[in-house]
Amino acid sequence: MFNSNRAISTPITILIIILVAATIGGTVWVYKKNQPPIEETQEETTNFSFIKTGSGESLDQQKLQELQDAVDNGHQPWRLDPLFIAKTESSKYGFKDTDEFTLVSKELAEYAGTYIAEVEAIHDNEKYIIQLIQPVKIGDEGIWVVNSIREAE
């Protein structure tokens, strides 16, 4: 027999689980429904846009050192370009190849002991700031990694 209470509580339970899972570790998926209505032939998922904000990918110091060593030995020189890193790594956070990326600033943050670069990303007419840092070596020879992503003010 059909239990109407269970039918209602199951979607609510699933929604709660998704919300809890999405916020673990200081990470939030920003949900935007700002695309035109879907056509019958499109998949429903194309009607939604998700951008993961919060902390960037966490890499341990050993992995970061290995990446820096590879660059020091002439491999992966693109890791020295914060704009390129923002563009290529941003798909992990929900950005698309068609989004617009602009390097806004790159400066020494003495309080952090590293250079910090900020890249503005425009996704579905919404602006975000992707912050990158140099975690191993600072200056022209240091690799860049995504530190955080936030909605622009």
Q: What is the pLDDT of residue 33?
A: 37
Q: Sign of torsion, CA 10 12 15 17?
A: negative
Across the chain, which has 153 residues, the per-10-residue mean pLDDT values are 49 44 43 37 47 82 96 97 95 92 95 92 95 95 96 91
The pLDDT assigned to 32 comes to: 41
pLDDT digits (tens, 9 = 90+) for 32-47: 433 333 333 333 334 4
Rounded CA gap, 61 and 1, in Å? 57
DSSP string, 3-48: -HHHHHHHHHHHHHHHHHHHHGGG-EEEEE--SPPPPTTS-GGGG-
Tokens 């002439």: give the residue. Answer: 74
- % of residues, the chain, pLDDT over 90: 54
pTM over 0.75: no
Residue 86 near residue 133, CB atoms below 8 Å: no
Residue ranges per structural domain of the chain: 4-151
Structure tokens given for 92: 């992990």
